[in-house]
Structure 1
Amino acid sequence: MRRGPVHHPAVLRQGRPARAADTATARHREDTTSRHDLVIRARRVITGAGETGRCIGVTGGRITAVEPLGSALTGDRVVEYGDDVVLLPGLVDTHVHVNEPGRTEWEGFATATRAAAAGGITTLIDMPLNSVPPTVDPAALEAKRASAAGRCHVDVGFWGGAVPGNLGKLRPLHEAGVFGFKCFLIDSGVEEFGHLDPALLAEVLAEVARFGGLVLVHAEDPAEIGRAPAARGRRYRDFLASRPSRAEDAAIARVIEAAAATGCRVHILHLASSDALAMIEAARRDGVRITVETCPHYLTFAAEEIPDGATQFKCCPPIREAAHRERLWAGLARGAVDCVVSDHSPCTPDLKRLDAGDFGLAWGGISSLQLGLPAVWTEARRRGHTLRDVARWLAERPAEIAGLRRKGRIAVGYDADFCVFAPDEEFTVDPARLHHRNPITPYAGRTLTGVVRRTWLRGAEVGGEPAGRLLRRGEA
């Protein structure tokens, strides 16, 4: 059932160029006198100025003109979109566990990137685990790139890993093109990717600061979790108690201290504890270079609503109470939280232990590549946010944090990556229609608002043969 087209049928039509031309400002055009490969006319486009009608010229896979809707741009192909859809920049998901090579039965580049494209994502960055080998040295990076070559439906970059014993490999990985380095402050769950103690964290940050890199941190404190009751059984509240919010807060405080001492740029992954926002904002005021992400599941679900035994909801850090969810939304609104990414972390069905419903035994991870945009939009519009906000959180800011200079915006000089989104259309999540390898999801049966009608990658509609490129830092 999951072998059909990546996208819903598109609402688009081929059309002739408009005869009347509007005057465009120089900052919105590169060359509007020549003929473009593609011209898109859309009544609703999300740009830095908000939502407006635009005529977009594309040549060689790049945006070469962004003009008022009535502009007389000419193109070899002209596509028009009506009022029922909004043209968003292609989304950028910087937190995806593809797991290939080594654990390809969990996920793979072909299936993950099909799911990404179906969700409006045009660029993803793969995490250095849970593949085997993990991406902790240049040889492992090349093995990862070899596995991905020719299999990607969207553009793909790679994070490196910082683990005990590979301090001397960080600069070579940086020079080989990884976008930064992920580390854990607690057991990662896989033995081949060890975690950093406080002393080693400080060494890693000092080393990465020397060459201007970025360190991403899974921030949970092992001492705080060691003092909490062990996770076991079917009750979600028992699992939640085993990963208390104070474990996140203590670990983030340690990262801030180390970043302040070394000057290294750091990024906090998958924030679930809203209690940490105050210290993050204070650190920024003090000059610490720190950014932070959260995930759709932390913005959608609440611990009070999760049924006992429903291990499809298990992730680490855990989904917390509704009060945390609402404070995370407030943090997004004021810029304390920078972006929203999936933390797509799949596994085989048996590892989720749905039969036993035991949170202590189940693998922790939520798969949401295909559903992140509608999940976030469903909740965002209820709170008065706009699609401009959503584009900033899911495209613009992730691209900026990762250093993707031509991704995340509809603007001249950027890649012609677009998501055609029907913001008022509802659907009910059917796992059988998801494209990731193992269609387990806590969103099953949930009604979401917003449907991705079409995804464009560098001026071409995604579908059929893989056309994604493998990206290197500094070249993308």
Structure 2
Amino acid sequence: MQVRKIYSNRVWIEKKLQPATVSFINSSITAIDFKKLNDTEDFGNAVIMPGVIDVHVHINEPGRTEWEGFETATQAAAAGGTTTIIDMPLNASPVTTTLQAFQQKLDASVGKMNVNVGFYAGLIPGNIPHLESLLQSGILGIKCFLTHSGIDEFPNVTENDLDEAMPIIAKYNIPLLAHCELYDKEVDSDFENHPTSYQHYLAGRPKKWENEAIDLMIRMSRKHNCPVHIVHVASAEALSNIEAAKKEGLPITAETCTQYIYFNAEEIPNGNTIYKCAPPIREKANNEQLKEAFVTGVLDFITTDHSPAPPSIKEIETGNLKKAWGGIAGIQFLLSGSWTAMKDTMTLEQFIPLVTSKPARFIKANLKGTIAAGKDADFVIWNPEESSVINESDILFKHKISPYISQSLSGRVLETIVNGGTVYKNKSITNKNKGIWLLQK
């Protein structure tokens, strides 16, 4: 293959944007030159940076491909500048709680990876005998729920389950990812009688549930010295305890998702189920605190928790929030949605690591997340200053159901390069199946 050289006045190298030419051949970066070379593609002032890494998505294949699938999800990821995704163990059928189920998932992804794909396995009551084989199989983390997951075959764990599992997980220094809500029957939100009311839904999943669950995971991390990752933090009240746990030196990391910093409860209309997720999108004042937590480092990086469903399961026609599947389709908007949300809170230089080097470090992907000789040739070339209104026709994931439709987002992706090959350019997929598996060594 011929060496390709790309130049811009703004290339993200050594933690700053600077003029540079990046040369790469096949899937590796071969050289960095801090000047424009001959035979170089000049992208002007567009930003060239490492491909975005989304470490929290639900692909739903095998078994629920009418919801999504590797082919459509990875095309949508590439369209948004994402070059690596990590797939959750639930929403597929079978759920990834045994080695055999993991093999089925690997088989299902073959020939359908338009970006790089890594995988988590699941912890549920009764599958602890399977943990060692899963931890040795190449998975990048173990996921558990502390409340009902929405999928009956992926039940929540108890403190006793955690006591049994965490010493095993700690041996491998792999994170236990936790959905932190502890169900409390005492909440009287009257949601039963107001199933289309967003405010009643919000009241039915209070911050207290999250706070207590996060406190439990901090205690368990301390007890077992096990790495714990808090997924989709939505309650700003939990931030001070996460911060204290980090200062104590506990192996705790935490994320929030684009939807929790871009949208807010005050502006969500009743009967509009595309906004339903769990934990719920909370109030504007709360979400401003989540944004500030990226500045202070209490929150580590941003994900999408892409969790799509067909219109009937999403109860689009009825607007019934009680019955609707809880999940937001957003894999295509990690870069543009998050930058739009964060650009008044931090600089572009502060923002870029939240979607590149920091998630790369979390999944121990040493060749990803930075631009340097010898690193993987995964790039997004984009214009952060250019905004556009998202149309249904722009969407590449399976069901064109998303709260980002009709939103004006800052950041237009010009080109997405995966393992040295252009996958997305000029609003279309150009090369398919350039992605590879990302498995823990």
Taking structure 2 as the reference length, the TM-score comes to: 0.95
Matched, 1:41 2:3: no
Q: Paired residues, what number?
A: 433
| Counterpart position of 2:233 | 271
Aligned to 1:53: 19
Q: Give the one of 187, 203, 209 matched to 1:227.
A: 187
Residue 32 of structure 1 is matched in structure 2 by: none
Task: Pick from 248, 251, 257 the counterpart of residue 286 of structure 1.
Answer: 248
Identity across aligned pairs (percent)? 38
User: After the TM superposition, which residues 110-189 of structure 1 pair with which residues of structure 2 at under 5 Å, given as runs?
Assistant: 110-189=71-150
1:361 aligns with 2:323: yes
Question: Quick check: 1:150–1:467 contact (8 Å CA) kept in 2?
Answer: no
Counterpart CA distance in 2 for 1:357 and 1:439 is 17
Asked if 1:105 is matched to 2:105, the reply is no
Q: Which residue of 2 aligns with 1:445?
A: 406
Q: Please tell me the residue identity of whatever aligns with 2:151.
A: V
Q: Secondary structure at the match of 2:313?
A: helix
Q: CA deviation at 1:412?
A: 2.2
Q: Segments of 4+ in structure 1 off by > 4 A?
A: none
Matched, 1:202 2:163: yes
Separation of aligned partners in 2, 1:91 and 1:471: 14
Q: Which amino acid aligns with 2:104?
A: A
Q: 1-side partners of 2:206 and 2:78: how far apart?
A: 35
The superposition leaves residues 192-238 of structure 1 with CA deviations (integer Å, 9 ceiling, x where unpaired) of 11110111122221221122221000000123x65343644111110
**Deviation sequence 1:1-48 (CA, Å, 0-9, x none):** xxxxxxxxxxxxxxxxxxxxxxxxxxxxxxxxxx97222111111223
1:123 aligned counterpart, secondary structure: strand
Amino acid in the other structure paired with 1:57:
S
Alignment counterpart, residue 87 of structure 1, candidates 48, 54, 57: 48
Which SS does the other structure have where 1:222 is aligned? coil
Other structure's SS at 1:349 match: coil
* Paired AA for residue 169 in structure 1: H
CA distance in 2, matches of 1:188, 1:440: 21
Q: Does 1:380 align with 2:329?
A: no
The correspondence for 1:236, drawn from 198, 208, 220, is 198
Task: Work out whether 1:350 is the aligned partner of 2:312.
Answer: yes
- Confirm or deny that 1:211 pairs with 2:172: yes
Separation in 1, partners of 2:21, 2:186: 57
Report SS of the residue matched to 1:179.
coil
Q: 2:287 aligns with which of 315, 325, 330?
A: 325
Query: How far apart in 1 are the matches of 2:9 and 2:214?
Result: 44
For 2:189, the aligned partner's letter is P
Amino acid at match of 2:106: R
1:308 aligns with 2:275: no
Query: SS where residue 452 of structure 1 aligns?
Result: strand
Q: Does 1:465 align with 2:432?
A: yes
CA contact 2:261–2:338 (8 Å) conserved in 1: yes
**How far 1:309 sits from its partner (Å)?**
0.7
Amino acid at match of 1:222: Y
Aligned letter for 2:309?
C
Report Cα offsets for 1:136-189 as digits up to 9, x if no partner: 111111100100001110010110111111112111111110001000000001
> Aligned to 2:242, what secondary structure does the other structure show?
helix
Query: Residue 467 of structure 1 aligns to which amino acid in structure 2?
Result: K
- Find the aligned partners of 1:230 and 1:121 in 2 and give their Cα distance: 40
2:419 and 2:434 in contact (8 A); partners too: no
Cα distance change on mapping 1:327 and 1:237 into 2, 3 Å:
same
> 1:149·1:470 contact (CA, 8 Å) conserved in 2?
no
Q: Distance in 2 between matches of 1:387 and 1:420?
A: 14
Alignment of 1:405-424 (within 5 A): 405-424=366-385
Residues 267 and 39 of structure 1, relative CA distance in 2, 3 Å threshold: same
SS across alignment from 2:129? helix
Q: Specify the SS of the correspondent of 2:3.
A: strand
Which region of structure 1 is more displaced relative to structure 2, 113-122 or 444-453? 444-453
What SS does the aligned partner of 1:371 have?
helix
For residues 400 and 92 of structure 1, what CA distance do their matches in structure 2 show?
10
Aligned to 1:403, the other structure's residue is in SS state: coil
Tell me, which stretches of 5 or more residues in structure 2 are unaligned? 424-429
The two structures have a TM-score, normalised by structure 1, of 0.88
Amino acid at match of 1:44: R
Q: Which AA in structure 2 matches 1:375?
A: G
Q: Is the 8 A contact 2:258 2:334 kept in 1?
A: yes
Larger Rg: 1
CA RMSD across the alignment: 1.5
Q: Which residue of 2 aligns with 1:296?
A: 258
- Secondary structure at 1:351 match in 2: coil
Alignment partner, residue 338 of structure 1: 300
SS in 1 for 2:376: coil
3-state DSSP class of the match of 1:352? coil
Cα distance between partner residues in 2 of 1:454 and 1:417: 11
Contact 1:314-1:364 within 8 A present in 2 as well: yes
The one of 250, 255, 277 aligned to 2:212? 250
State the distance in 1 between where 2:283 and 2:49 align: 31
Equivalent residue for 2:427?
none
1:94, 1:126 within 8 Å by CA — same for their partners in 2? yes
Q: Tell me which amino acid in the other structure corresponds to 1:330.
A: E
Q: Look up the equivalent residue of 1:197 and give its one-letter code.
A: T
Distance change (3 Å), C-alpha of 1:159 and 1:240: same
**Distance of 1:141 and 1:230 partners within structure 2:** 41
- Tell me, yes or no, if structure 1 residue 65 matches structure 2 residue 31: yes
CA distance in 2 between partners of 1:226 and 1:196 (Å): 20
